[in-house]
Structures are given as C-alpha cells and as structure tokens.
Amino acid sequence: MTADEALALLDTLLPDCTFNNLQETVFCQVWEGKTYAEIARENDYEHSYIRDVGFKLWQILSEAFDKKVTKSNLQSVFKQYTRTQASPTSDSISASSAAFAPNSVSISKSIDPSEFCPTIEFPSGPVPLKSRFYIEREPVETCACSQVVKPGSFTYIEAPRQLGKTSLLWRMLAHARSLGFQVVTLSLHRAESQVFSSLDRFLRWFCANVSRQLKVSIEIDRYWNEDLGSKISCTAYFEEHLLPTLKIPLVIAFDEFNRLFEYPDISREFLPLLRSWYEEGKELEPWQNLRWIVVSATDVYVPFELSASPFEVGLAVKLPKFTLTQVCDLAQRYGLVWVKTPKGKDRIEQLIQMTGGCPKLMRLAFYHISRYHVDPEQLLEEAPTQTGIYSDILRHYLAALRPHPELETAFKQVVNATESVELDPIVAYRLQSLGTIKLERNRAKPICDLLRLYFKSN
C-alpha cells in the first residue's frame, strides 16, 4: 500500500475529517520512513512543530482505529485493517466505516438522529479531554502546544469567558504529559480568601502547592527571610530547593489567574516577579526547565479599570470564534444531519450570525436542538429574550455593564447605530475585554446579534 492509497482509505473511514496540507505531508513522509527532523528540514519548519503535528495526527488515527497509532506502527495498523476487510459484505462495510469514524455521522432519513446521541453532555465548563464535542481551532492549538516544548517559555491565554480557554489549557497539559514532562496546575479559584491577605501569604501558598504536586518536601521556613523579603525568599526557594530536583521539564499552569486582580497589591508585585523568572529562563539553565502557562478571563478586567493587558512577555494565544466549517462539524457531532442540506446551511449561518460563532453558545444551541428537538427557528426567535436558552448569559452581561454607566452608554450607542462606531480607546478596550464588541480598525460593532437585539430592548 502506498501513502496515497492509505490517505484514500482515510477519506473513506473519516469522511468528515479534513486533513490540511501539512498533516498530509507529515503522514506521507512518515509512511515513507522519514524522521520528523528530515520532514522539518525539507519543508522549512521547526522540528518541534512537525513533532506536534504528528502527535495530533496519531491521536486522530488512534481514535479512528480504536488502537494506538504511532509513526512506528503506522503501516502495520493499515495493513492489519485491510486484511480484516478483505471480503466484507456491504452491511459489514457500512458498520465498519461507522465504527472507524466516531466523529462522523451518516444517518438515513428514517432514523431519529437523537438515537446517535443518547447521552449528550450538557455544555457546562471546560470540554473533557475525550469528549467528541471538542473542536480544534488550528493553527492556534498546534502553536500553543509547540510553545510548551520551548525551554523557559511563557504562554498566556487571555479571552472573555465562554471561548474555551481552560479546554485548551487541558490539551496543552495533556501534550506536555505525553512528552514526559512534569505538570503542576494551580487554579486560583481553589485558594481560600486568606491566601490573598498579603503577598507573603500568597507566595508561601504558591511554593507549598508546587512542592506538594512535585512530591518534594515543603521547607518554606528554611528559605524564608524577613530581611530579604518574600519575593527574594520565594525565588531562593525555587532556585535552591525546587529547581535542583528537576530531571525533566516542568510546566506550571495558572488557571483562573484573573482572580489575582481582585487583589491589586498582590498582582502588582507578583506579575513583575513572574516576568523576572521568565527573563532568567533566557540565560540560566535551571530556569529553562520551567514552562509557564497563564489563563485569564478578560471580562474581569472591567471592574479594575485595566487599560491594557497586564501580561507583557511571552506568547499571547488569541482564541478565535468558530468558523462555518467548524460549526458544521460540531452540528454533525450532535447528530444534526440536516446541516448538509441547503436549508440546513442557511440555519447554521443564522446561528453564527446570532451567536458570533462563540463555542459555548453554539454548543448550547446544538444541545437543545438535539436533546430536546427544539426547532432552530424558534430557538433563534427566542434567543435574545428573557425566556431563551441564553437568558442567564445575557443577564451576566447586563450585570457586568450596569455598574459602569460610561461603558453601558457607549455600548448602547454601538447597538443602536446602523454602522460601526468610533469609541474612546480605553472604553473600546474595556468593552472588548468584556466580550461585547469587535473592533475593525478603530471602529466598534456588537460581537453578535444576540447582544445587539438584547441590549436594544433592555
């Protein structure tokens, strides 16, 4: 079997999974026996980037074949499969294709689509790692995972709520674990309020939690010195107690970092400390063993009147909304076969216009359509009202704007205008951080019809 024949077989097994040019190139050249280093050199990519593309590709194939696929066993898996399908009946071919294409849906009109989604998960919180409802957004995801490989790297994922920040974080950490890295995750929502009573208390909590997850003895008092101050004491704890124990790279991830901005005295001191450690990682080998990931919701910046992102170093990961192709893919995973019809495509485009392609809003819509057989036209009609499926989310936006009359007034101006509106730069930044507007050059428009229609009547 040639590489092209293997790709043709994949097209049959995964009819709704489209591989991009680079994925096909990696597949074919690995099939021909080339190493990641050779592929990277021939195609002018970094070795780590090609390795990440391959890692994700083997994950897709492992799910399709229900068997672990690697670059080492790639050909043997395909040969085994073709042998088992040597002389199937037409019925067994159909069953086999369905079994090996878990993310695709091919349903005859006589079958109720809901039968294919008997246990649909309610879209609440991050999307689980093994969920079939997770949609990758390339090249953002590959770029983010590639960043984890780089010594001393600092990555921050900064976006309004509902865009999938923590879901992406989980996949970055899963990638790090697959490479054999150690991982420490710190969700600031789990910290008790007294942890934020002072910078000293917070840094001690930070050191203790990292030590516990690394299974290293907690010896904070040994390194803490009042005369030197808590920031130098914390640095000494890392340099002299934690970093020397690392035999493999360590990823330290902060989720819900935005909670720290509720305590400006601490955030003003801790952010420069993080930056100093990142700078150390450019020159000093012990600090290069660390990779930092920070996840922060930007809508909480509004009450604290931040006029710019508080992160000034590293790679900023911007999460885009879903494209039409991605929304159609998601709809099919919910068993909505009408998405392939001309009328179905019109419905999808109307849903995107209403929601702006926001992942959480799209998942909510498809959940209700698939689980409760809600008519899409009725859902669209009721969406911007108090009785629609988005009522709780809309009230959240209303509650966020109401304490800030200047922002509420500016947003009212935007939703009532027939064209885009030029706003004060600081006001525009804060509304964008809240997730209510999109900027085209210096002019603002509502992020979606959902907010435009709701705020026109409230």
Could you tell me the residue range of the domain that residue 232 belongs to?
Answer: 140-317
Q: Do 307 and 443 lie in a common domain?
A: no
In a domain, 125, yes or no: no
Burial (CB count within 10 angstroms: exposed 0-12, middle 13-18, buried 19+), residue 143: middle
Task: Classify residue 133: in a domain, yes or no.
Answer: no
DSSP state string for 207-256:
HHHHHHHHT----HHHH--TTT-HHHHHHHHIIIIIGGG-SS-EEEEEES
Strand-pairing partners, residue 39, are none
Res. 97 pLDDT band, cuts 50 70 90: very low
Same domain as 255, residue 148: yes
302 found inside a domain: yes
Does residue 258 share a domain with residue 145?
yes
Structure tokens at 104: 């695709």
Same domain membership, residue 144 and residue 100: no
Say if 63 falls within a structural domain: yes
| Residue 163 and residue 99 share a domain | no
Establish whether the linkage from the previous residue to 320 is cis, with ω within 30° of 0: no
What is the pLDDT averaged over residues 222-248?
A: 96
* Sign of the torsion formed by the C-alpha atoms of 381, 387, 393 and 394: positive
Poorest-pLDDT segment among 60-64, 74-78, 225-229: 60-64
Query: What integer is the mean pLDDT of 213-236?
Result: 96
Task: Specify if 351 maps to a domain.
Answer: no
In a domain, 380, yes or no: no
- Residue 34: how many CB atoms within 10 A of its CB? 16
* Domain assignment of residue 113, yes or no: no
Q: Assign 3-state DSSP to the chain and report helix, strand, coil percentages, each to 5.
A: 60, 10, 35
Q: How far apart are CA 358 and CA 385, in angstroms?
A: 18
Mean pLDDT confidence for 183-206: 95
Cα–Cα dist 63/84, whole Å: 18
User: 191-207: buried (b, 16+ CB within 10 Å) or exposed (e) per residue?
Assistant: beeebbeebbebbbbbb
Q: How many domains does the chain have?
A: 3
* Domain termination residue (choose one: 317, 337, 352): 317
pLDDT tens across 279-310, in order?
Answer: 999 989 899 999 999 999 988 777 766 666 78
pLDDT at 224: 96
- The pLDDT, as a whole number, for residue 100 is 33
Contact criterion met (CB below 8 Å) for 103 and 132 = yes
**DSSP code of residue 72:** T
| Residue pLDDT, tens place only, 352-382 | 999 999 999 999 999 999 988 899 999 999 9
Query: Tell me, what's the pLDDT at 306?
Result: 67
The answer to whether residues 286 and 145 belong to one domain is yes
Percent of the chain with pLDDT over 90: 61
Same domain, 313 and 179: yes
Rounded mean pLDDT, 249-260 = 95
- List C-alpha distances in Å: 359 to 161, 162, 299: 10, 7, 16
Average pLDDT over residues 134-154: 93
pLDDT of residue 151: 94
For residue 447, give the H/E element and its range. none
166 plus 306 within the same structural domain: yes
Report residue 365 as tokens: 């819509």
Would you place residue 58 in the very low, low, confident or very high pLDDT band (cuts 50, 70, 90)? confident
Residues 305 and 164 reside in one and the same domain: yes
**Cα–Cα distances in Å, from 151 out to 46, 237, 458?**
14, 20, 50
**Residues 298 and 172 reside in one and the same domain:** yes
CA gap 68, 58 in Å, rounded: 8
DSSP letter at 32 equals: T
The predicted pLDDT at position 116 comes to 39
For residues 20, 23, 28, 32, the Cα torsion angle rounded to the nearest 10 degrees is: 170
Rounded to an integer, what distance in angstroms lies between the CA atom of residue 263 and that of residue 77? Answer: 54
Q: Please state, in angstroms and rounded to a whole number, the distance separating the CA atoms of residues 248 and 180.
A: 8
pLDDT reported for residue 106: 31
State the pLDDT at residue 85. 67
CATH number of the domain where residue 262 is located: 3.40.50.300
Among the ranges given (45-54, 234-243, 397-406), the one the predictor scored with the smallest mean pLDDT: 45-54
The verdict on 66 and 164 lying in the same domain is no
3-state DSSP of 372-407: HCCCHHHHHHHCCCCCCCCHHHHHHHHHHHCCCHHH
Lowest mean pLDDT among 5-14, 128-137, 268-277, 413-422: 5-14
* Same-domain status, 53 and 151: no
Whether 249 is in a domain gets the answer yes
Tokens of 153: 């790297």
pLDDT number for residue 32: 87
- The alpha-helical segments, DSSP class H, found in 105-198 are 140-149, 165-178
More confident residue, 42 or 364: 364
72/122 Cα distance (integer angstroms): 38
